[in-house]
């Protein structure tokens, strides 16, 4: 199972660290050998909303190769979904992949047309 955690500048720290920790326990605690979790973005390093620089392990151009994709949230998501170049790079296949998000990351899913039959919320701060 290949899983991507998608980050971008000013992502919400908890929305990366919680799934990173939980998903990596599958291989480290349960011993599942074909389990890979990667942090991906558009740059080598993205800085969280709290100012923590996080090095990525791949790019969003790899999303089509993943079995599961989780988008973090962040205060800049409303601007990010207006970036047509960024959104065009998000190659996802909802028929084959598990796709999800935390908090305002749902706005990315909505902008991609993946939430037509489900409601979505966003971060209370913005």
Model confidence pLDDT, tens digit, residues 16-67 = 999 999 999 888 777 778 899 999 999 999 999 999 999 999 999 999 999 9
Task: Kindly write down the DSSP assignment for every residue of the chain, as one continuous string.
Answer: -EEEEE--TTB-HHHHHHHHHHHHHHHHTT--TT-EEEEEESSSEEE-TTS-EEE-SEEGGGGGG-SEEEE--BTTHHHHTT-HHHHHH----TTTSEEEE-GGGHHHHHHTTTTTTS-----TT-
Model confidence pLDDT, tens digit, residues 84-99 = 999 999 999 999 999 9
Model confidence pLDDT, tens digit, residues 54-95 = 999 999 999 999 999 999 999 999 999 999 999 999 999 999
Confidence of residue 126 (pLDDT cuts 50, 70, 90): very low
**pTM for this entry:** 0.90
């Amino acid at each position: 199972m290949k899983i991507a955690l998608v980050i971008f500048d000013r992502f919400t720290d908890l929305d990366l660290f919680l799934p990173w920790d939980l998903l990596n326990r599958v291989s480290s605690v349960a011993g599942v050998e074909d389990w890979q979790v990667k942090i991906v973005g558009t740059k080598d390093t993205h800085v969280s909303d709290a100012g923590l620089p996080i090095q990525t392990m791949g790019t969003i151009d790899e999303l089509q190769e993943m079995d599961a994709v989780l988008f973090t949230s962040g205060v800049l998501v409303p601007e990010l979904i207006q970036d047509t170049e960024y959104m065009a790079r998000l190659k996802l296949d909802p028929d084959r992949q598990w796709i999800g998000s935390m908090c305002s990351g749902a706005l990315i899913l909505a902008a991609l047309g993946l939430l037509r039959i489900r409601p979505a919320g966003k971060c209370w701060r913005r």
